[in-house]
Amino acid sequence: MATQPASQASLLLQKQLKDLCKHPVDGFSAGLVVEENIFEWSVTIIGPPDTLYEGGFFNAVMSFPEDYPNNPPTVRFTSEMWHPNVYPDGKVCISILHPPGDDPNGYELATERWNPVHTVSMGKSAQMKSVRDSKEGMRHLDHI
């Protein structure tokens, strides 16, 4: 029974990666870390113009759980990144990447957290728009 969700997740991730390649998001590219593992993506975010990150290339790894899309991926920058929502080890901490439902600490609304209808492309489009629209660069990366 545990293989069924992984199979569904695998098919969904294959479709989302194919869609992302067919309809790319400006300033964002993705591929597989290892060809045989659809659950680990290598991503590059290009720093948008008129931000603190302009001209930069920022690499990260997106790791998807076997029960995706019921739970969110994790994102960890492998490039050096200074941002208040990025820990020193590169792990990204933003509301959209927190599990769905109510925040046990009461800091986030359920609507700010992961929702299984989100897609990689939707999330990255919103993040990139947020970065471009922000005079302070990626400060507002988590406002999706």
Q: 46, 93, 122, 126: which is the annotated catalytic residue?
A: 93
Helix (H, G, I), strand (E, B) or coil at 63: strand
Burial class (CB in 10 A: 0-12, 13-18, 19+), 4: exposed
Give just the sign of the alpha carbon dihedral 24, 29, 34, 40.
negative
Question: Considering only CA atoms, which of 33, 28, 31, 75 is closest in space to residue 53?
Answer: 28
- Whether 21 is catalytic: no
CA distance 2 to 19: 26
Question: Considering only CA atoms, which of 129, 110, 123 is closest in space to residue 41?
Answer: 123
Contacts 24+ apart (CB under 8 A), 107-114: 112/142, 114/71, 114/72
Write out the catalytic residue numbers.
93
